[in-house]
Amino acid sequence: AREIHLKSRPDGLPSLDNFEVVSRTLPEPAPGQILVRTTWMSVDPYMRGRMRDRPSYIAPFQLGQALEGAAVGVVERSADERFKPGDLVSHFSGWRDYTIVDASAVSKIDAAAAPEPAWLGPLGVPGFTAYVGLGRIGELKAGETIFISAGAGAVGSMTVQIAKAKGARVIASAGGEAKAAWVRDELGADVVINYKTADDLAAALAKAAPEGIDVYFDNVGGEHLDAALANAKDHARFVICGMIAGYNDEGVADAARNLARIIINRLSLRGYIVLDHYDLLPEFTAEMTGWIADGRIKWRDTVVEGLDNAPKAFLGLFSGDNIGKMLVKIDG
């Protein structure tokens, strides 16, 4: 089997030198385990946090060991009665072509409901994160105005569409015209701000939402958060999902200018980790499967071919190389 290891801990923006490809021979699966051939794996911004050796909500990656993350694949051999060769599964041992996993940590996926990679996008963590953030965390209501940063990303593109389905007025940001056009023309956002060409993001948001925003869904932090603070209505709710603009730095202090607006406008900022909300997963899967069947939810994947290119795919998240979900296709 081949796997990608963390060779050294990145300082600032990671580089390809921080990763290495390692081959090893796998044993037979022990009772309760299965051997999976991974076909698709996810790279995600939060993985940058796991490359730091410090306590967090999830353990740091260890040097000289395989990275891990969400993936889907096919069962090749099974020593567990719940699985048989040929079953399609999702698991958390990405970054390798073949892997042995505990059967209890694996779920079967229904390829009839959506193609395999969709279980890492709309039906996977990104879709679920959008669903939890707008529902349980942000409590978005029809008629409200929401601003969504990184609207063309995996989470953002789902957030835009679910917010529209809930009857909100949606303003999104995206880096570049092609992304902006997709989010506006295909996903249905009312206004999309290309933040790369906007001179003043706060002013662009003020123009798009002259009366202010009721909800901000943050994927970015930094200047985006600052612009949202500057345009918040009284009692606005901030769903703090991610702050990718700061993931390669130690802090995200550059957003501090408008923090006093939290008091002035009596804002609520609420961070969340989607892992804490798995009680909503069955409800989410049923709803999302229905929306996909109706054609109500659209998605795009940016596909990087080959396990060896997984580090490149990961790095691309920080330069906005992806429209929709960034995925790696693995040919075993």
Q: Name the residues that contact ligand NDP, by CB under 6 A.
A: 44-46, 125-126, 129, 150, 152-156, 174-176, 179, 219-220, 241-245, 272-274, 317-318, 320, 322, 326
Check if the beta carbon of residue 58 is closer than 8 Å to that of residue 50.
yes
Minimal distance, residue 322 CB to ligand NDP, in Å: 5
Within 10 Å of residue 198's Cβ, how many Cβ atoms?
A: 15
Minimal distance, residue 53 CB to ligand NDP, in Å: 19
- 313 phi-psi bin (left φ>0, alpha ψ -120 to 50, beta other): alpha
Specify the residue, 33 or 161, whose C-beta has the smaller distance to ligand NDP: 161
Specify the residue, 150 or 202, whose C-beta has the smaller distance to ligand NDP: 150
Instruction: Provide the H-helix boundaries in 54-153.
Output: 125-132
Minimal distance, residue 196 CB to ligand NDP, in Å: 7
Specify the residue, 45 or 73, whose C-beta has the smaller distance to ligand NDP: 45
Minimal distance, residue 153 CB to ligand NDP, in Å: 2
Check if the beta carbon of residue 313 is closer than 8 Å to that of residue 304.
yes
Distances (CA, A) of 241 to 167, 224, 302: 21, 13, 22
Specify the residue, 33 or 219, whose C-beta has the smaller distance to ligand NDP: 219
Report residue 81 as tokens. Answer: 């009665």
Minimal distance, residue 62 CB to ligand NDP, in Å: 21
Specify the residue, 73 or 175, whose C-beta has the smaller distance to ligand NDP: 175
Length of the chain as a residue count: 332
Minimal distance, residue 35 CB to ligand NDP, in Å: 28
Specify the residue, 103 or 193, whose C-beta has the smaller distance to ligand NDP: 193
DSSP-based three-state secondary structure for 172: strand
Instruction: Provide the H-helix boundaries in the chain.
Output: 47-50, 125-132, 154-165, 177-181, 201-208, 222-230, 261-264, 281-294, 310-316
